[in-house]
Structure formats: structure tokens, C-alpha cells
Amino acid sequence: MTDTTVPGRACLHELASQHRLPAHQPMDQMTLGWITDNRPANFDAAPSFPRPGRMLVPARSWFTTERQADSNHGVRHNARVSLLAVLLAQEYGLEGDDVAALCAAGAVHDCRRRDDRTDLGHGQRAAAWFRRRTDTVTRAMGREVPAAALHRAAQAIAVHDVPYENFTAQQKCAYRRAPHLVDVLKAADCLDRYRLPLQRWWPDLARLRIPVPDWLPPAAFALVVRSEQAALDGADSQHALADARRFLTPGQ
């Protein structure tokens, strides 16, 4: 195991406790150790996914900077949200085109972030980027998706970072046209919050508009820990994520 905490610099958990988080927040070994040690007590000891689920790992070039691609809202976060969105969509019986659209939406929802702070408006920026590059994203996914489904995905990306109660009249109208995609993307994004360095930032399922199956939070936690540890041990994001998904999917 490699300790990737920069010598002389506090880990993310310590910095968060001191309200001193930097603009860019790559995972470090001490923070991941703290996350692992604080695994919720009620979680299944052997979490798993009931099915493999499609996952799209975004290209590094899709992000605003190389630094952001490696940060806490970078490649691995977006890929995990892609997988979690697909699993949730399948759980609730969404149509194949919308499942594929959610796979794409999860993979790009944070790609236009400028930093790991609140960064207001990053959802709208990502949606605009996605609308211009749907061919690039669907080609990477290896599946054609109808324009109408991609449009719904873009609407979900645009509001994924806006609390429901803060929707504008225009956003409420868009939500009514694609409520399931918005709800699933928000839930998937929420479930990957176990990567964050304070427990008060971890998933609050009461804020979601869809129920989350009991098997999913423990599996989402394990997906974070397994993939982030593999990356800290030197694996590239593609291999780190593939290893974590295989580990959590029986028979794979």
C-alpha cells in the first residue's frame, strides 16, 4: 500500500475538520483510511450488486483540466455515478434508452467543474458541453441513443447540482418532462458521497425523491473504498473501477 498523502500537508479529513479544504481535493491514503474505519455499522458485511450494470469511464480530456480529472469530482467519481445511475434505473424498470442516457449523464455530470468546492453552475456547464458532444460520449459508450433520450439526460445534468426546492420555474418545467432521469441522477450522485472527508457530507437519503434499495448504500460505499484504494496503489482509473465492479458483482 502506498501512502500518497503529500509530506507536510494535512489529509483531506483533517483539512475539512479545520474548514481549510483546497480548491482541488484528490484522495489521499489517510482520508481513505478514515473513510474505511467509519463504515456504517448497519452495512452488509458482504455488499454486492445484483447485476453488473453498464459503466462509462469518462476520458480525462472531457474535464476542464488534468488536475480536475484526478480530483474528488473527477474521472472515478463520474464513472461510479454512471454505474450507480444504471443500477438504479434498472431497479425501477426504466426503458433501455433512458438507462443508456443515464449512463452517459452520470459519466459527464461533473466534467465542467472548475474545482471541488460548490462551484455554482457546473451542472449547466456540463449540460451545455454534453449537448455539443453527444456523439463523442455515445461513441465512447458503444451505443447509439435517440436524440430525445439524450435531451432528457442533458436536462438532468443541468439540474443535478440544484436542490429541488431551489428549482426555477423553467427548471420545474424541465423536471416535469424528465422526472425519472433527474431523480435517478441525483440519487446516484448522492450515493457516491461516501468519498467525502466528513460524515456529515455522506448520503442523506431523506433528501431524495426515490427510495433506494437496501443493498445499494453498502455496495456504493464498498465501490468507493475499493476503487480509490486501487488508484492509490497505482492502478489507472479504468482498471481501478473495473476491479471494484468485478469484486462487487458475483460471478464476474
Digitized pLDDT (tens) for each residue of the chain, 252 residues in all: 344 444 456 899 999 999 999 999 999 999 999 999 999 999 988 999 999 899 999 999 999 999 999 999 999 999 999 999 999 999 999 999 999 999 999 999 999 999 999 999 999 999 999 999 999 999 999 999 999 999 999 999 999 999 999 999 999 999 999 899 999 999 999 999 999 999 999 999 999 999 999 999 999 999 999 999 999 999 999 999 999 999 999 876
Reduced to 3 states (helix: H, G, I; strand: E, B; else coil), residue 189 is helix
Cell of 115: 474545482
58, 78 contact by CB (below 8 A):
yes
Contact 197, 26 (CB under 8 A): no
pLDDT of amino acid 44: 87
Return the C-alpha cell found at 13. 479529513
Distance CA 75, CA 88 (A): 20
pLDDT at position 1 is 39
From the list 156, 164, 58, the residue with the least C-alpha distance to 99 is: 156
DSSP character at residue 62: G
Locate all alpha helices (DSSP H) within the chain, ordered by sequence: 12-17, 29-37, 66-69, 75-91, 96-108, 122-132, 134-141, 147-159, 169-177, 179-191, 216-232, 237-248
Q: Indicate the pTM of the whole model.
A: 0.96
- What pLDDT score was predicted for residue 251? 75
Among the listed residues 249, 247, 251, the one whose alpha carbon sits nearest the alpha carbon of residue 229: 247
Per-residue confidence (pLDDT) for residue 252, from 0 to 100: 64
The pLDDT value recorded for residue 45 is 87
